[in-house]
Amino acid sequence: MSRPRGAAALLVLVVLVALTAGGLAPSSARAAKGWTQDGLWDFVDRRQAQIEPRWQAGRGTYLPVGNDDDVRLDANMLAVHAAAARSRHQGASRHDDRVVALADVLTRAPAFLTPPASRNGGQAHIPGWSSSTSSPGAQHVAIDPQVASALASAWEVREAVGMPDELADRIVERIRSVADSAFYRYPAMLLNQFNWQGDMAMAAFKVSGDPQYLEQYRLQLTRFVQGTRAPLTEGRTAFLNAGLGLIYSPRAAGSLGPALLSSSEYENLILSGLRHYDLAVAAGMAPLSPDDEERLRLWGQRTLYGDWTHAGTLNWDTSLGTRRWHLTRYWAFALQGVETLATSTRLSGSAPQTAWATWIAQRALEIYDVFAGRQRTGLLETGLWGVVGRDAAAEADPIFTAARFASHAARLAQLGLGARADVLPPGWFAWDPDAGRLAVSTKRYSTGVLLRHPTDDIGGIELSRLFGAAGDPVSGTGGSARSAFGLDLAVRGRVVLDSEPGRNLRQAGTQELRVTLGGGRPLRGTFTEGLRAYGTSKGAAGTIRVDQRFDQDGVDVLRSVKALEDADAIVRLPAWGSTARVTAVLADGSTVRLASKPIPAEGVQGLLVDARRGGYRVGLCRLPAGARLRLASVAPLSTSTSTRRVAQVLFPVPAGASRRIDVRLAPTIARPLAEDLCG
């Protein structure tokens, strides 16, 4: 049952008119808020109003919810207040007195530890900052640079805020003492995270002007670039995989697959170590070689295309398994990478890329407002989409995440990004072949294909998730088998082959995936159409082939299945949300609600998957004889907690025969319409 594609222009017009009339979601075409400098500061001031009740005037600090680990919260708010002073902003976030108070507390014990204090643990170091201003807290390599950077910003506005000379001198001494310590001075580096040492060196340079810190920064950069090309430790991998995705922790040489997956939030944090490069070169640091600079440009491009969606959210597959996956405070933290891409000059891939990164950096603020506005408190919860990793902090994260977003917006304003042109990016993709990961994002949707997840039940040759233009999941956040996109083949009632089996390797067979664009095989780039992902699952019972064709508005999925004995096949179309519903569109335009009882597919043009927010259209463009449709209930997975209903296409596959089924998936941010189902 084949049907030709129709023109898409009318459908686009209808959808845009419907969205404008309904006010249902942010525009998918551009950052609807139209960010300006004043708009950025308005965002900061609104976050300040939410955080304000946590200010403890007697202590001179902000108090987190649920714990005493306030140093990172204080550092973010110090950065906000210092930026407001530097920009001469007049609003709720302008607190010159708190710049002084916070700087004073953060440069004294117990927040700052000096000899003869001692600490135990793998990241203990003296001198250095701890996590609390009320008692000696935990230490971590990421804490010191955040505090030092905020203190350097406070030092830069010392005259404007009336900072005492003694405090200004203390800031310089504290930052330099840590930057000069064995824990941060070259050759120190944790794993491949040069950014922490780089941030410390550049904070020390800003407050001292001492060129030795430029040399320290350059040494870190040079070693990192070397490690992206070849292993620095015998028997281990390099820092980047074949697609230039960052390997969080270098693995054993020869590793493939999940071990080489990029951890998107940490890739952006490490990339943010490059944000000092232009300043360092302008201050007299010798530039890296042209080849090294180009290597970093390509890595930055891979980070933008592989880690970010057009909704301003992370295109996230893994973060130490799922420990930090979809945690809002890490989304906020990762935005430092986008800031770097939006402001770099020497290491920018191109002028358009800088404008695209600016668009993403500001789009994230818009989406934060949308997501937080759904909560009774007006604050984002610790995790998005019901995914709660081991590193979640349910009580503390809402305020801390708000502080990180406020700091992000304040930096954008201080850097003048509100006065710059932001340009809607084209569709883009990044392919890491040795890791088996494809990430795709356009103005209409974001998705990915992941052959195997390192720790959780996700993986195969099909789309692992599908999100709409407003950043909401419409299929799920990542699943497998009956809760995910895919095709399974059953013999005598037992599934023997699955194109998206997750951990069930017995049902995977041998799986292969390759990606092309216009006949070539680039690892990353922009596209309007012509991007294809070919996957094969081959087992003893048969073969499944999947050809996924991506364009700006959706994905055509062409599947063929061959069985070696009589079998039954099911194609799965998951829906996000416990109240999700699926409607079948008949040839005469009438509709019927899909239920658990199968109905014949003959005469059905497509399906409308109405998810919790938005949804997607399914064009049934080619169906095998005897196909039937039904809506099945499935048990939710921890990786996709609200995928509970899945539309299914059922059809028989006789022994030795092949069957083909072609569908088109087109996400929407409003209720899907029964038009242009096949493209």
Question: What CATH number is associated with residue 550?
Answer: 2.70.98.70
User: Mean of the pLDDT values across residues 379-399?
Assistant: 92
Confidence of residue 25 (pLDDT cuts 50, 70, 90): very low
> What pLDDT is stored for residue 422 in this prediction?
84
Instruction: Check: CB of residue 664 under 8 Å from CB of residue 601.
Output: no
User: Mean of the pLDDT values across residues 659-663?
Assistant: 98
* Tokens coding 475: 């299929």
Domain match, 444 and 414 both: no
Task: Report the alpha-carbon distance of residue 340 to residue 358 in Å, rounded.
Answer: 10
> What pLDDT is stored for residue 369 in this prediction?
97
Flag whether pLDDT at 110 surpasses 90: yes
Confidence of residue 590 (pLDDT cuts 50, 70, 90): very high
User: Mean of the pLDDT values across residues 371-375?
Assistant: 97
> What pLDDT is stored for residue 181 in this prediction?
97
CATH number of the domain that residue 62 is part of? 1.50.10.10
> What pLDDT is stored for residue 384 in this prediction?
94
* Tokens coding 538: 């081959």
> What pLDDT is stored for residue 32 in this prediction?
46
Flag whether pLDDT at 245 surpasses 50: yes
In Å, the largest CA–CA distance within the chain is: 85
* Tokens coding 664: 């088109």
Confidence of residue 33 (pLDDT cuts 50, 70, 90): low
| Helix (H), strand (E) at residue 475 | strand 473-476
Q: Lowest mean pLDDT of 47-61, 126-140, 501-515, 522-536, name the range.
A: 501-515
User: Mean of the pLDDT values across residues 6-12?
Assistant: 29
Give the end of a domain, one of 363, 386, 419.
Answer: 419
Confidence of residue 24 (pLDDT cuts 50, 70, 90): very low
- 117: phi then psi, degrees, rounded to nearest 5: -55, 150
In a domain, 676, yes or no: no
Domain match, 412 and 451 both: no
Give the end of a domain, one of 385, 403, 419.
Answer: 419
Flag whether pLDDT at 29 surpasses 70: no
User: Mean of the pLDDT values across residues 378-403?
Assistant: 93
Give the end of a domain, one of 373, 396, 419.
Answer: 419
Q: Lowest mean pLDDT of 44-48, 51-55, 231-235, name the range.
A: 231-235
In a domain, 310, yes or no: yes
Flag whether pLDDT at 507 surpasses 90: no
Task: Report the alpha-carbon distance of residue 546 to residue 558 in Å, rounded.
Answer: 6
> What pLDDT is stored for residue 622 in this prediction?
97
**More confident call, 675 vs 333:** 333
> What pLDDT is stored for residue 485 in this prediction?
97
Q: Lowest mean pLDDT of 26-30, 110-114, 251-255, name the range.
A: 26-30
In a domain, 673, yes or no: no
Q: Which residues of 155-188 are buried (b: 16+ CB within 10 A; e: fewer)?
A: bebbeebebeeebbebbbebbbbbbbbebbbbeb
Task: Report the alpha-carbon distance of residue 563 to residue 488 in Å, rounded.
Answer: 11
In a domain, 29, yes or no: no
Supply the range of the domain harboring residue 399: 37-419
Domain match, 597 and 467 both: yes
User: Mean of the pLDDT values across residues 201-228?
Assistant: 98
Domain match, 256 and 329 both: yes
Instruction: Check: CB of residue 515 under 8 Å from CB of residue 521.
Output: yes
**More confident call, 7 vs 83:** 83
- C-alpha 507: how far from chain center: 30
What SS3 class is residue 373? helix
Place of tokens 């079948």: 584
Could you give the percent of the chain with pLDDT greater than 90? 82
Flag whether pLDDT at 11 surpasses 60: no
Flag whether pLDDT at 14 surpasses 60: no
User: Mean of the pLDDT values across residues 622-647?
Assistant: 94
Place of tokens 């095998």: 624
In a domain, 28, yes or no: no
Domain match, 375 and 243 both: yes
Domain match, 409 and 456 both: no
In a domain, 674, yes or no: no
* Per-residue model confidence as pLDDT tens digits over 431-443: 999 999 999 999 9
User: Mean of the pLDDT values across residues 617-642?
Assistant: 94
Q: What is the DSSP letter of 503?
A: T
Task: Report the alpha-carbon distance of residue 531 to residue 619 in Å, rounded.
Answer: 19
Domain match, 235 and 293 both: yes
Q: Lowest mean pLDDT of 377-381, 388-392, 403-407, 415-419, name the range.
A: 388-392
Domain match, 501 and 618 both: yes
Domain match, 324 and 265 both: yes
- 424: phi then psi, degrees, rounded to nearest 5: -60, 120
Flag whether pLDDT at 5 surpasses 90: no
Domain match, 18 and 45 both: no
Task: Report the alpha-carbon distance of residue 317 to residue 337 in Å, rounded.
Answer: 17
What predicted TM-score, i.e. pTM, was given to this entire model? Answer: 0.93
What is the chain's mean pLDDT, rounded? 92
* Tokens coding 605: 């043009």
Instruction: Check: CB of residue 523 under 8 Å from CB of residue 431.
Output: yes
Task: Report the alpha-carbon distance of residue 584 to residue 3 in Å, rounded.
Answer: 16
- 287: phi then psi, degrees, rounded to nearest 5: -60, 155
3-state helix, strand, coil in the chain (%, to 5): 35, 25, 40
Confidence of residue 59 (pLDDT cuts 50, 70, 90): very high
> What pLDDT is stored for residue 231 in this prediction?
95
Instruction: Check: CB of residue 470 under 8 Å from CB of residue 614.
Output: yes
In a domain, 305, yes or no: yes
In a domain, 546, yes or no: yes
User: Mean of the pLDDT values across residues 186-207?
Assistant: 97
User: Mean of the pLDDT values across residues 224-239?
Assistant: 96
* Tokens coding 394: 């349910």
**Nearest CA among 411, 163, 428 for reference residue 315:** 428
Q: Which residues of 362-373 are buried (b: 16+ CB within 10 A; e: fewer)?
A: bbbbbbbebbbe
* Per-residue model confidence as pLDDT tens digits over 295-330: 999 999 999 999 999 999 999 988 777 889 999 999
Domain match, 364 and 434 both: no
Q: What is the DSSP letter of 389?
A: -
* Per-residue model confidence as pLDDT tens digits over 452-492: 988 888 899 999 999 999 999 999 999 888 899 999 999 99
Q: Number of folded domains in the chain?
A: 2
* Per-residue model confidence as pLDDT tens digits over 557-572: 999 999 999 999 999 9
Q: Lowest mean pLDDT of 25-39, 278-292, 547-561, name the range.
A: 25-39
Domain match, 564 and 587 both: yes
